[in-house]
Amino acid sequence: MKQAKLLNKVEFKRLSAVINSRRYPTRNHTAVALSFYAGMRACEIAALRVGDVFESTGAVREFVLLQATQTKGSCTSTVLINRRTAQALTRYAKQYPRRLQQPEAPLIFSAKGGGFSAQTMVNLFYTLYTAAGIDGASSHSGRRQFVTELADKGLNARVVQALARHKHLNTTQRYIELNDKKLRAAVELVG
């Protein structure tokens, strides 16, 4: 099975430039942040409501409790919000203050003000990656990059599994990118 491409720094900058050149840059940067920095799936991002990520005061929540209806596996789960994701959500709150007054409204909204379906969220990522000239990237690239970066930082595999919200460790392991550079660095640790 072909894996979603991980983005290098140059590709990520191109993606950001494309987002900045289009309509709804803050909304789109928020969707990308939820994928890359919180490890969320496209279907989960599409299912988010404003009240899932913002307190009634407008503050960004420290974690998002996903209901079973919002997840791939139909199980409730918790997504921790890190600093980078919180920054993107704070920019979102400043850009769209009226949306914060509608806790049941979709977080990622369409041009007509409604929400995205899982498929239209996948399509949004595809459109952005295509415009940035990034071949092989998909809506799963951010999630895969999230897992790989956690593993590359030397975190315990069970911690990475928990943050990825996988039931099985072997699923988490399949997400992690291996390459010659990483293998070379690993063998140099011996001796």
Domains and CATH numbers, the chain: 9-142 (1.10.443.10)
pLDDT along the chain (191 residues), means of 10: 88 98 98 97 96 96 89 84 97 96 96 93 97 96 92 86 83 74 72 73
Res 182: pLDDT: 65
What pTM value is reported for the model?
0.90
Distances in whole angstroms, Cα of residue 114 to Cα of each of 85, 93, 126: 23, 17, 20
CA dist., res. 42 & res. 80, Å (int): 16
Residue 149, φ and ψ in degrees, nearest 5? -65, -40
Alpha helices in 54-188 (DSSP H): 83-95, 118-131, 141-152, 157-164, 169-175, 180-187
Tens digit of each residue's pLDDT (9 = 90 or more) over 68-106: 788 887 788 899 999 999 999 999 999 999 999 999 999
